[in-house]
Amino acid sequence: MHDQIDTYTRKLIRDRTTLPESIRFYRLDDVVSASREDEWLPVFTGVFAGLNVAALLFARPTLSFADLLVKRAGTASDRLMPKDSETKTFLHDIPFIRKTEWSGRPKTELAGKIIHCLKERKAVIIEELGVVASGGVTVEQAYIGYSTIVHTTFLKYLIDLLLEGFKLPGESEAFEAFRKTWVRPVDLDGLRFLEMQNNTRIVRNGEKVAIYKEISRVGRYTVEKGLVDSFFGNISYFDGATIYISQTASSLDELEGHIDPVPLDYSSTAGLSASSELPAHKAIYLATNKHAVLHGHPKYSVILSMYCTEQGCDEEDCGKNCKRKRFACGVPIVPGEIGAGGLAKTIPAAIKESGACIVYGHGVFSAGEQDFKDAFLKMVDIENKCREEYFKLLDEMTQR
């Protein structure tokens, strides 16, 4: 477990999501132990006593968006309700503990509040302290819960600004500092891509080595360039007979040994552990001449997919049922239920027309005819354009 803690600590720092000095992992063996000794160990020893979990992560996000969302929430509220697909699928909602509920009170009382929240959800925001996420069995699960909170609060805060503007004293100044010091375009430094059509016949021990290596490399690029959190998104390559696809719940920056070869006719059982979006990938390949598909969750693309000013719309679940033809920076936005084959009905036509699409509240699917270079560059281009468009829309909104 020590190796896991080191791995996920490095990832939190690499992703710029977390203040390094704030990272604390706690794990339960015979007794509760910590990745660092501090005054919080007794608190989380108490939390373990009230929960059936193996690990906890307590850390403070680099950005203050989670705290700002808590401050902007109504006084009667005790949870945030983002509308992106990750929240709906993995979190449902995000409970929080206000500063007034813990400041100046015994730490044991805070432990009770944390237990109450984590019995219902995988993570909780503690205003001005950070986020606590639980791992029922592994440290990895706590890391995923924490990363999901950081991702979804980023999306919700930026969407709320577009819809409601700045509400709090000093909020616009803090956001301007974020814009100047944090925001940057997706860069392509150090990337190289294999020309797949010339290399897919390389076979070693019965496996097409080049395909596996290239999928692993491009999956890692997708994470390193901030186009997806490591445990979300998926990637595949089609050689004309078999779809090579990342496994479900695999980390895109660690795909070695986690890629399934799935025959087009499902004549083997390999598809049982494949990504839940296998039906969407297969539908793309059957409907187009594409051979590479990449799916990531670039933040600004997701934000613009959810930004809708339509008046009089009574649709309750836009992510599944939106009937309007919508675009972000010229890229089609499609609805569809994730992980259940629903996207296989909406994505292929959009991919056939433009080579890429944005799934409402979820992320970008992009495809390449021969290899991953085209698919990756399309996703980068979409995200860079959506980032520019977001700030243009925000400036227009705040200047009215």
- Residue at which a domain ends, from 141, 156, 181: 181
CA distances 129 to 61, 155, 277, 371, Å, are 9, 20, 36, 45
Instruction: For residue 159, give both structure tokens.
Output: 């969407």
Do 233 and 334 lie in one domain? The reply is yes
Strand partners, 221: none
CA distance 69 to 98: 11
Do 237 and 276 lie in one domain? The reply is yes
Do 358 and 280 lie in one domain? The reply is yes
What is the pLDDT, as a whole number, of residue 124? Answer: 97
CA distance 119 to 124: 10
Residue ranges making up the domain that contains 120: 2-181
Strand partners, 246: 259
Strand partners, 232: none
- Total domains in the chain come to 2
Do 26 and 163 lie in one domain? The reply is yes
For 256-281, what is the mean pLDDT? 88
267, with CB counted inside 10 A (0-12, 13-18, 19+), is exposed
Do 49 and 140 lie in one domain? The reply is yes
Mean pLDDT of all residues in the chain?
A: 89
Instruction: For residue 190, give both structure tokens.
Output: 């150090």
Do 275 and 299 lie in one domain? The reply is yes
Alpha helices by DSSP H, 73-205: 85-86, 107-118, 139-164, 171-181
Asked if pLDDT for residue 32 goes beyond 90, the answer is no
CA distance 89 to 110: 28
CA distance 291 to 281: 10
Do 249 and 367 lie in one domain? The reply is yes
For 386-391, what is the mean pLDDT? 97
Task: For 362-379, write each residue's pLDDT tens digit.
Answer: 999 999 999 999 999 999
For 61-77, what is the mean pLDDT? 94
Sign of CA dihedral 135, 140, 144, 147: positive
Reported confidence tier of residue 202, pLDDT bands at 50, 70, 90 = low
Other C-beta atoms lying within 10 Å of the C-beta of residue 109: 12
CA distance 336 to 197: 32
In a domain, 128, yes or no: yes
For 326-335, what is the mean pLDDT? 94
In a domain, 21, yes or no: yes
Alpha helices by DSSP H, 227-342: 278-287, 299-306, 318-321
Do 122 and 26 lie in one domain? The reply is yes
CA distance 352 to 10: 39
Do 241 and 377 lie in one domain? The reply is yes
What global pTM score does this model have?
Answer: 0.92
In a domain, 313, yes or no: yes
- Residue at which a domain ends, from 133, 155, 181: 181
Do 174 and 215 lie in one domain? The reply is no
> 363-368 and 55-59 as β-strands: parallel, antiparallel, unpaired?
unpaired
Asked if pLDDT for residue 149 goes beyond 70, the answer is yes
In a domain, 186, yes or no: no
For 313-323, what is the mean pLDDT? 60
Do 67 and 128 lie in one domain? The reply is yes
Asked if residue 245 lies in contact with residue 260, where contact means CB atoms within 8 angstroms, the answer is yes
What is the pLDDT, as a whole number, of residue 249? Answer: 87
